[in-house]
Amino acid sequence: MRIHMIALALAVSALAAGANAEGAAVAALQAPLAKPINVIAGDGYWACQDAICVSGSASGQSLTVEACRAIVKAAGPVSAYTVDGSSLRPPLLARCNAIAASR
Distances (CA, A) of 21 to 17, 18, 31, 35: 6, 5, 25, 27
DSSP code at position 61: G
Give pTM, 2 decimals: 0.76
Query: Using CA atoms, how far apart are residues 92 and 69, in angstroms rounded to an integer?
Result: 10
The domain limits of the chain are: 2-101
In angstroms, what is the C-alpha Rg of the chain? Answer: 12
Per-residue pLDDT of the chain (103 residues; tens, 9 = 90+): 444 444 444 455 555 444 444 568 999 999 999 999 999 999 999 999 999 999 998 998 899 999 999 999 999 999 999 999 999 999 999 999 998 877 6
